[in-house]
Amino acid sequence: MGRPANNQTITKQQFDAVLFDLDGVLTDTAKVHAASWKKMFDDFLKQRAEKLKGPFRPFDIATDYKLYVDGKLRYDGVRSFLESRGIDLPFGDPDSLSNPDTITGLGNLKDAMVKDIIATEGVEVYEGSVSLVRHVREQGIKTAVVSASKNCRAALQAAGIEDLFAIRVDGEVAERLRLPGKPAPDTFLEAAKELGVEPKRAVVVEDAISGVQAGHDGGFGLVIGVDRKGDAEALREHGADIVVKDLAELLP
């Protein structure tokens, strides 16, 4: 099966489904997540530094966000970043809303920040991405959203695009089905399964390094990297077959 060049589009002859990540691909919410991660971790790291009388090294969006949390399930992201700093915390109670001494507590604090921003400021979409979704649907190609976020449905509703996707495999679904998050391919494979398509006949669209790696490792027919953060080379190195700045580049 030939892979389309950047100036070509996705056709029904080649593929039966396109699986889209949410944050940074469909909606301009990646910056909301990044800012929320930074505030949550910086507050935690400051308090820890004061308590241990050590130096405070803030969370860096340019490096820490990309390497340790972007595209991952929330608690996996917390654990991954803490491990990078040599910090070991207990997992804790997932229902805890304000315990900064556990992985789940920190993750839930970050989640509350994101919910508040979505509720008060709404969600912006990438018009080129929505245009591509509509274009492939018009050809009879199935569409799904695969996101690590538990706020996926709220974001889709706030953006007014929930009806464009037959299937949603998000953080809530992953937790219920006990699916490992990206870079494991399981959430994408679940979406393909629910759509009734073979991975080799499906496209994965991702902006996160962990996401393109998941698409590559899952044996999908095409992995498209969306370069929102100047990561084109890293996206290619981790599994993107092609990289675009905007999904409108794939429209006819």
Distance of CA 232 to the CA centre of its chain: 16
For residue 138, how many other CB atoms are within 10 A of its CB?
Answer: 9
Residue 70 annotated in active site: no
- Helix, strand, coil in percent for the chain, rounding step 5: 50, 10, 40
What is d(CA 17, CA 9) in angstroms, rounded to the nearest whole number? 13
What is d(CA 170, CA 1) in angstroms, rounded to the nearest whole number? 29
Indicate which residue of 23, 64, 186, 231 is catalytic.
23
Indicate which residue of 21, 217, 231, 241 is catalytic.
21
Residue 217 annotated in active site: no
- Indicate if the alpha-carbon torsion angle 167, 169, 170, 174 is positive or negative: positive
- Indicate if the alpha-carbon torsion angle 61, 191, 195, 173 is positive or negative: negative
Task: Give me the active site residues, please.
Answer: 21, 23
